[in-house]
Every structure is written in C-alpha cells, then in structure tokens.
Amino acid sequence: MEEIATIAYPDGDSRILMVARKELLPSDARLTVFDGNTAPLFPDRDLECSLSLPPGETAKNWTSVERIINRALAVELERDGLIVGVGGGVVTDVTAFAASIYMRGCRLVLVPTTLLSMVDAATGGKTGFDFGGVKNLLGTFYPAHEVRICPEILETLPEREFQSGMAEVIKHALLLPEENNPLLVQIRDECEQIRARDPEALMKMIPAAVKVKADVVEADLRERGERAFLNLGHTFAHALEAATNFSRWSHGEAVAWGILRALDLGERIGITDPQWANQTRQLIASYGFDIVTPQVAPEEIKAAMSSDKKKKDGHIRFVMLKGPGQPVLQSVPESDLDAVLGIEKNLES
C-alpha cells in the first residue's frame, strides 16, 4: 500500500491509498456494495455480506439507499462495523450516504473502479443521491475513512467511461501552476500511452490527479474557499446535461465542453491568455473530445444554468482560468455569456 494523501477532517482522517488489486477489498468488511458491473470483477467476494445494485445513474436513488440499509440490518452491522462501496461514482456516492446515516455513521471504505471516481467522486466527502428529478439533491458530508485505488481494475472499463474520467484529470491538471506540474506535462506528452491505459502511465497519472483534489479539499477545510475552483467547466456542463436530460452526453464529455466554453468566456472578457487557451483546446481534443456544438438550443442551456446552485446575488459565477493554476471565480456580462453559448441577439428588437 502506498499513501497518496491523508486529509485531516475535524472528525478524523481520510486516507487515500494506492493498493495492489488483491488488497482492494478490506478483510473486515461487514457489508460490501457493488453494482452489476463491478460485482463480477470480484468473483471471490463473500456473497452473504454483499449487495449488488443495478449499474448506472438511475440507481442513484432512495431505493438503493434503503436496500443498503436493509442489508446492513440483515447482516447485523453495528456502529463500528465497516461498509465498503465498490464501483463508480454512483455506488460510492450512494454507499457513502447510507453509511453516513446508518446508526448516525458507521465505518466507510470506498473502492473506486472508474477513472472518474478514482480522481474525483471518492475523495472529498460529498455523498448523495438524486431525488425528484434533481441530481444530487439529497446528501451529506461524510468522508470515507479510507479510499483504496488500484488502476488495474480499469482494464474492463468501457472506453467512453475512461474518456469521461479523463475530462476530470485534465481539469485537475489545469488547476495546477505550469511550473512543477508533472501531471500537465504527462497528459501532454503521454496521450497515446494514457489512452491505451498503459499501466505505468496510469500508475503515475492517477495518484497525481487524486493529489490535486485532496489538496484542494484540504485547503478548503481551512476555509480558503478554493474548492469552488473544482467546478471549472461544471456550470456549463451541468446545464448541458440538464438540457439534454442527462442522457445524451457523458458527464466527462459535458465537462470537456464546459472547460472549452470557460476558456472562450475567459478569452472574451480578457482574462485568459489566448495562446494558452489554444494549447489547452488542442490538449482536450487530443483525448478525443469532439463536442463542438452540443446539438441543443443554446437558450435551453442558458435556461438550465439559471437554476445552478452556485449563483450569488442572482448572478451565475463561472470558474475561468487566466492560465494554468490561476483560476478565478466571477460573474460575467450576460452579453458575453450569450456570445459564448452562441445565442444571437436581434439588435433591432
């Protein structure tokens, strides 16, 4: 086991570890939650003490929470007992939520099995599920006591899911300053190896990307407010996903599109260096993201933005980048947002 980071929360530490594949499942788990795609990856799992949810976002609901709690009761899980969530962000979010409310919180280990959950969802303590048609409406803050990561488990991950995680890796790399940024250097120089999931490349890239999230989360605990920067591209992305009913684009595709729009916006209002913005556009394209126009009316995307949770004083604020590692969070003139979304104004009306 190799420790990537330990985040010190007021209620205890959360350790993020790189482990060998055989060390992924803790031996003292009382209940392990999988989904239909992750359970078969562990043929030796203890069937008595495991539960498999249907795969995908539609299972991120109260029914799954109830199933986990019922199973916890059935296996007589006690307050100091351990629940483990093994899967992508859906399983890790919903399992962590159940663990946070079961007997006011039991022990929790997360085993992320998608690139996105490794570099993003499993770290940082946000739990939750979708309710009333609203994504992540209900949730708690409950960091896992341990997060166990092994890139080998990504071998079976479908290509589109791997690519989706790469959008978050790119985002993390852009949040670090240019100097002393081996993650950015690697994703620029080793695109081919990374896309081929070369084990050595992943063993280098994943801990570096996780460390960015862990550092930002830790800085936020000290109330420097930096966590909002992790939303780079996400105000646009959430609006695109909502406007297309969360069905057309993967989250990562939407995030890649969102980062591109944040670059356009920053360039337009004069804070983003145009040359660097172009290099970054090329970097994103090199990972196969090609949503140039999202095939949905820009007015619908803008309408979806108006319900964004990060609004302040009625204005939507966007994370933009002056350059690598120089994020800013600010509102923008509506005319600039319209221009970036491609909303044409009829000047005569």
Work out whether 120 is an interface residue with ligand NAD (CB under 6 A): yes
DSSP state letters, 94-124: HHHHHHHHGGG--EEEEEE-SHHIIIIITSS
Q: Whole-angstrom Cα distance, residue 89 to residue 60?
A: 9
Given a contact cutoff of 8 angstroms between Cβ atoms, the answer to whether 213 and 120 are in contact is yes
Q: Which residue has the tokens 């791997």?
A: 162
Given a contact cutoff of 8 angstroms between Cβ atoms, the answer to whether 55 and 35 are in contact is yes
Over the window 234 to 263, marking each residue x when it contacts ligand NAD by CB under 6 A and - when it does not, the resulting string is -----------------x------------
Q: Annotated catalytic, 231?
A: yes
Work out whether 161 is an interface residue with ligand NAD (CB under 6 A): yes
The DSSP output letter for 21 is G
Q: Annotated catalytic, 145?
A: no
The DSSP output letter for 324 is T
The footprint of ligand NAD on this chain (CB under 6 A) covers a number of residues equal to 30
**Which residues, 6+ apart, have CB-to-CB distance to 45 below 8 Å?**
25, 32, 34, 39
Q: Annotated catalytic, 322?
A: no
Work out whether 40 is an interface residue with ligand NAD (CB under 6 A): no
CA dihedral for 54, 50, 13, 113, sign (positive or negative): negative
Nearer to ligand NAD, 157 or 259 (CB): 157
Q: Which residue has the tokens 């795609």?
A: 37
Q: Among residues 3, 8, 56, 177, which is the contact residue for ligand NAD, using CB under 6 A?
A: 56
Q: Which stretch binds ligand NAD (CB under 6 A): 3-11, 81-89, 181-189, 270-278?
A: 81-89
Q: Annotated catalytic, 104?
A: yes
Work out whether 126 is an interface residue with ligand NAD (CB under 6 A): yes
* Residues with catalytic function: 104, 126, 168, 213, 223, 227, 231, 234, 238, 251
Residues near ligand NAD, by CB under 6 A: 35, 37-38, 41, 55-57, 60, 87-91, 93, 113-114, 116-117, 120-121, 124, 126, 136, 153-154, 156-157, 161, 164, 251
